[in-house]
Amino acid sequence: MLVAAVASVADQLGPGDDVVLVIDHNDELRVRAAREFAADPRIRVIANTLLPGISGARNSAIDAARGEVVAFLDDDAVAGPGWLERIRAAMAEPDVLAVGVAAAPAWHGGRRPSWFPDEYDWVVGCTYRGLPTSAGQVRNVNGAAMALRRDAVIAVGGFSTMVGRRGAAFTGCEETELCIRLRQRHPDAKILYLPDVSVAHTVPRERMRIRYFLRRCYGEGLSKARVARLVGAADGLSSERSYVWSTLPRGVARQVGRGLRGRLGGWLAAVLIVTGVGVTATGYLLGRLRPDVTAVVSREATPVARL
């Protein structure tokens, strides 16, 4: 997957572009990756020299980057055609500080589980039902595939290590918290979402289980609590309010409709939409009441390298 991710980006590089592959505190992988990509001078393999985890790895990439714009791609994703070209065009406007694109789930076995509601594709790091269907401004971008203006990110202190996935923890929201800080510093700046540009994001079998679904919801609640403490609840939950009160009720109605048409997965999906809200809210409340509460840790192996 890592080789495929790098190849999908390398094919789109323009003059002066390069790839910075950050290995997150894994010397064996770093040596292997350096050997794998040694033939291409445009690819630099470096170690995360900061705190372990995705925030430290991304900050290491920003430190090492040479360009004005840094585009990030998860190591288990593949960039679609025109990804860099569209990012470059959007970033040509000086008031654009971040650009996000759609992340389509590449399900293990090629099929979405019948019980997995589209509204919860964020559980597997992908674009979910309820996001805009046309290009426009959003609060934050999807971390699986995004681009940021380097100087602006450095000016606000980079990604916070108080949030973000570390090892096999179920927490995240590091890109959400950063985008909010960027907008707080630059109220007139733009954070754009381009839904017609996409990357394919791998969903392994381990993430296609109800147990993972619920643990990820709980971790999201903890993450949102941390974001609220860092940037304020008003900004930290601005998008979530419309999601809970508008997107999810429509999702329940749609899934019940599937159930009435004889599709058993529709009934389970409807139950999980409601259950997911409760589990996420529980994580949020515990995170607010007990700031020292830690995220649930899974037993699955998670990627350690980030572009």
What pLDDT is stored for residue 292 in this prediction? 58
CATH for 2-206+295-306? 3.90.550.10
What pLDDT is stored for residue 304 in this prediction? 31
What pLDDT is stored for residue 297 in this prediction? 34
Residue spans of the chain under pLDDT 50: 293-307
What pLDDT is stored for residue 241 in this prediction? 86
Domain boundaries, the chain: 2-206+295-306
* Cβ contacts of 4-7, under 8 Å, gap ≥ 24: 4/78, 5/73, 5/74, 5/75, 5/76, 5/77, 5/78, 5/79, 5/307, 6/37, 6/43, 6/307
How far apart, in whole angstroms, are the C-alpha atoms of residue 64 and residue 161?
A: 18
What pLDDT is stored for residue 64 in this prediction? 94
What pLDDT is stored for residue 163 in this prediction? 82
What pLDDT is stored for residue 171 in this prediction? 74
What pLDDT is stored for residue 300 in this prediction? 35
What pLDDT is stored for residue 232 in this prediction? 86
